[in-house]
Amino acid sequence: MAIAASKRAGDTVESAVLQRHPELRHVSDDVEEHYDAVAVSLLSPSRDLPFVGLCLLEIGTVVEIKSAMVVYGENQRRGRFLIRENQHEHLLEEGGVYLFAVCAPTPEREIIAAKVVPASLVDEFEFSWVSRKTRSSYAQFAWSRVFAPKEVEGQ
């Protein structure tokens, strides 16, 4: 049940990102499981979508959209992004990027802040892969590894 809810929440954010940025075209999971979108026209950084380590996204760049709630749980801890090792390796091979989005903890998942980061720079976030027997290893890290707290909490 939690996995289905998490997938639905991710799909909601993915749809919102794609509506905001027509430069990106959705890529379904049946076509490619390692990323959600591809740039179909040049995408430049903006106030709403800053880039780290890039001046623009070129046509053909693959984009994996990851989202985390700003807070979760009774203790209101900062949300976490989850990345899969095999997906990350594929993005590295393709010269792809992550589009990280921090969202309101509501069913609508309103985007509070978003940022594009090359997969090659994500390795600098200091995380460890957690191994699983049946599926790809994964890592989780708080949104504060990607965003300064004022970028999110100051909204």
Q: Residue 49 domain-assigned?
A: yes
User: How many domains are contained in the chain?
Assistant: 1
- Report the amino acid identity of residue 87: Q
pTM, to two decimals: 0.90
Kindly tell me the burial class for residue 73, based on how many C-beta atoms sit within 10 Å of its own C-beta (0-12, 13-18, 19 or more): exposed
CATH number of the domain encompassing residue 120:
3.40.1350
Q: Are 56 and 45 in contact (CB under 8 A)?
A: yes
3-state secondary structure of 37: strand
Q: Residue 155 domain-assigned?
A: no
Using one digit for the tens of pLDDT, what is the confidence trace for 88-108?
Answer: 999 999 999 999 999 998 888
Q: What is the domain range of residue 25?
A: 2-150
Using one digit for the tens of pLDDT, what is the confidence trace for 72-93?
Answer: 877 888 999 999 999 999 999 9
Q: Residue 84 domain-assigned?
A: yes
